[in-house]
Chain A
Amino acid sequence: MFSLLAIVANQVSPRGIPLFGKWDVSQGIVNAGGRCQPHSPEINDADLDLAYLNANVLLIDARSRELYREGHIPGALSYPLGEFQALRDEFLALFPSDKPIIIYCIGLDCHDSHDLLKMLENSGYTDLKVYSPGFDGWVARNRPVRTGDEP
């Protein structure tokens, strides 16, 4: 009875979620479905490989500094989601708003790259994409990895 009341309250709430989510990682990024679904423009492995050859593309690692040090995609800059607010001014001064930017985090069960994309979008950046397979997807394809603080 109580569960039914909770479900009804959820259904009428503007912040409500569907009864079933998208939790199968093989079907794309996991989320609770409905309005929880990220609408970020995403790219796949092949797109990233192409973009990787373009020196103008900026690759951003949205994971924590510790994870970045333990291994990251060579060339990627570390801008952890939790630190971006503090680093925003520095970022705006360094990169023009039309700079093509690709963001990644851990993988398909990580939302930080999508959240960082929204923050960058709100800061005026226009050419933004998320590499959804993330660092896990990169490693799974035996692509090179760099450790330490250097991009």
Chain B
Amino acid sequence: MNGYRILEWVFRWFSGSVFILSSIHKIMDPCKFAVDIYNYQISPHALINLIAIVIPYLELLLGIALIAGILPRGAALGITATLIFFIILLSINLIRGIDASCGCFSSESDACELLADWYKSTHPEISAITKARLRTLCDIVRDIIFLIPTVGALILLNRRYQQRG
């Protein structure tokens, strides 16, 4: 196994695991994820529940497919598209000043929530809106960081498939 294959394997496992982990709490608590989607204020009300049902299973499927190597390029492309979609949504919320959790991870383990709480405790003068914006900005940065290994896996997979001819 050469260096490129090892790197591809690491990227696939990292991205796949992140997606599987992020899907589990949504499948376990669709009530909360549906409220998170409502809070984004971009979806017609009639579609909120359907989105809250389908997206977590899609994330789970993409994560498993990427790790297991089942149509890995399609899975990497799907994860990239999903991450870009969420980055755009969060950016829109940041500009609009909407206080909405991204719903990406459970709130108990959300590092961005903890970071915003810590910043607020050290800077009590900031308003609730500023704190919410800080958390959204952190969510965007985190998704961009997650995007790097996913795009890396996509590039390396393409390279391998091209070499194979």
Within the assembled complex, what's the spacing in Å between the Cα atoms of A31 and B29? 13
Contacts of B31-72 to chain A: CB distance below 8 A? 31, 34-35, 38-39, 45-46, 48-50, 52-54, 56-58, 61
Partner of B46, one of A6, A17, A20: A20
Within the assembled complex, what's the spacing in Å between the Cα atoms of A32 and B35? 7
Known: A19-B49, A21-B45. A10 touches B30 (CB 8 A): yes
- Contact B30–A66 (Cβ < 8 Å): no
The reply on A64 being an interface residue by CB < 8 A is: yes
- Contact A66–B127 (Cβ < 8 Å): yes
* Count class of interface residues, chain B: 20 to 34
Within the assembled complex, what's the spacing in Å between the Cα atoms of A30 and B28? 20
The reply on B10 being an interface residue by CB < 8 A is: no
Closest to A17 in B: B30
Within the assembled complex, what's the spacing in Å between the Cα atoms of A2 and B64? 15
The reply on A24 being an interface residue by CB < 8 A is: yes
Residues in A neighbouring B35, C-beta threshold 8 A: 30-32, 109, 111
Known: A35-B31, A36-B31, A66-B127. A17 touches B53 (CB 8 A): yes
15 other contacts beyond A17-B52, A32-B48, with CB at 8 A cut-off? A5-B57, A6-B57, A9-B57, A10-B30, A19-B49, A21-B34, A21-B49, A23-B45, A30-B35, A30-B38, A32-B35, A32-B52, A66-B127, A70-B128, A109-B35
Q: Contact residues of B with A, CB < 8 Å?
A: 27-31, 34-35, 38-39, 45-46, 48-50, 52-54, 56-58, 61, 120, 126-128, 131
